[in-house]
Structure 1
Amino acid sequence: PGPCPACPLDKLFGKRLLQAGRYLVSHKAWMKTVPTENCDVLMTFPDTTDDHTLLWLLNHIRVGIPELIVQVRHHRHTRAYAFFVTATYESLLRGADELGLRKAVKAEFGGGTRGFSCEEDFIYENVESELRFFTSQERQSIIRFWLQNLRAKQGEALHNVRFLEDQPIIPELAARGIIQQVFPVHEQRILNRLMKSWVQAVCENQPLDEICDYFGVKIAMYFAWLGFYTSAMVYPAVFGSVLYTFTEADQTSRDVSCVVFALFNVVWSTLFLEEWKRRGAELAYKWGTLDSPGEAVEEPRPQFRGVRRISPVTRAEEFYYPPWKRLLFQLLVSLPLCLTCLACVFLLMLGCFQLQELVLSVKGLPRLARFLPKVVLALLVSASAEGYKKLAIWLNDMENYRLESAYEKHLIIKVVLFQFVNSYLSLFYIGFYLKDMERLKEMLA
């Protein structure tokens, strides 16, 4: 229902919901902040969404996931609808049990962490406190788990979208553009604390536990690795500086120094990997993900398309895309286009080298003009990388992979191959084909 024209906007939304209203159409809404007392997850819709779609989805959520509390709001200025989704504490406890969320156990019951169980909820730390037991990230993970597992029944359809039996509804609607965005909302109080203890802190350890509690294990593990890697780089930096200081000017001393530094890097990289394995295992155990089971069955991508058939394994209806069609597209379209892009990069690089030769042959040019070919090459590298990334995504979409893991794997192969050639082909060309060490030094400078 839309707002009454005579009603002030703050009366319609409430003080906190008014703050969340500005995120209804923002593509970077997850970067913003709203309090989470009345909303944990926000689901937005295009301004062209009709009432039938909203009521159909709202009814399915309330019937299929009775644990959720859903409020429908309409933004007067953007004319966009949104679902403000949250859940009660008791429902979240049942969701944590269903999800197998690992929580800290009280010391008198053995300590450590274990999967949450409603039958033994008294053994977990802070379970008596609704505000302290779940972090905002855990609340949102439980709600997201419920939303992602809202499944269709046999023969259900919404407009021109026909669902398979037991197919997830919300990912499919998001892939079709019927749902615009589904994202968690931030909590300003915690963000301010992280801003002071993490972003603005200089030469202090990262608050990894707080990062994990708020952003989740994956984000915390990434920054843990980044901090560990940055600290480990001190050793080769110091050793290399000392070695450079005591290396004499003759060629023999330089060659010996290069060999010694290379051997040091081999030993350092081996020790770094082994130490990170230990550190990563410690953090995984501390955060309760060391022995977490992997997903038994990976859901098909919502964007996966094919012909409907009865699965010979599960005897359920599913989409099927013949592998030979994907292979044919890879051989006749993907591979030629990728090779053409790599050839274009090579030709552009040669053109920049010819431009550099032309500039150097002209006398009387300003000194800054000598850097023009390098600037042109850098701009071409950046522009071609952006263009190829869009092409790689389009090719991957056309290859129509069933699983998200396969989709990401092939996308990484395409992008990394091009990025490597795009960034380093000029160096290999100068160093191994032209064998011009002076020009190579200029390129690396």
Structure 2
Amino acid sequence: RTPAISSRSRAEATPEERKKVERLSKKCLWQALAQNGLVDLVAPAHNRTLRDGVLAETLRPFTAPPVHRIRSYYGEEVAFYFAWMSHFTRWLVLPGASGLIVKLYLDRHVGTETVDTCIYAPLHGLFTFLWAMVALRAWDREQCRLAHGWGTHGAYWQESHRFYDDRPQFRGVDRISPITGKVETYYSSRRKAVKYVGSAVVTSILLSGAFLVMIWSLNLQGYIRPYDDPERWQEVHYHPFHYPFLSRLADEGNLFDAASQYM
């Protein structure tokens, strides 16, 4: 590639500067000019053929960007940006499809169903939550795969964007990583599994308690009232979260009635 050199005019150079350039004539021209302060910037010029080829392939519809060609021409940082955008765009198809199903269901039941009453809306929210965790994990694997392939694993800009750095409280034994060949802190999978199970049990108990309190609160506020919608709930006890002894307190004239003198 032909370097594009911005320099001061020869007429502005002093005789002393010219002598220095002559003494350095055996060196590369831009190195001699830079050493004498005559060069402001040296940058490679674009190769139009390569650039247009990368651009055309990147703009091609329904295809992933050519991250390897982008990396060869623009460098790893730009290539990782396009790799992330491609990964994120592909993964957005899943929550988009889930949201479309909910939207079509609501459109089909206009007047009878809303976002607040649609039974699929909470499932869509749960699916989106799980999708976000899996998508980030998948990107972490893809990022590591590209970094190892390009020889940039451990670069300063990648380390500053890691999602899963070791916590200061992390404990383990030092070993040689079979992947990177470097020393890493290792914690056995068996011991991890035991702690995962214990954490899952404790978390489930706490979440169940919070969920039960929320259901009681909804009953006390009168939000769960099956007899207000007899077409949907044929009998009161069919509603899985209805507690009659609590929901009665929200009836007209009772303690938690919105118009009660006690509220």
TM-score by length of 1: 0.29
Q: What's the TM-score, normalizing by structure 2?
A: 0.47
Higher RCO, 1 vs 2 (CA within 8 Å, ≥6 residues apart): 1
User: In terms of Rg, which structure is larger?
Assistant: 2
Q: Give the structure with the larger helix fraction.
A: 1
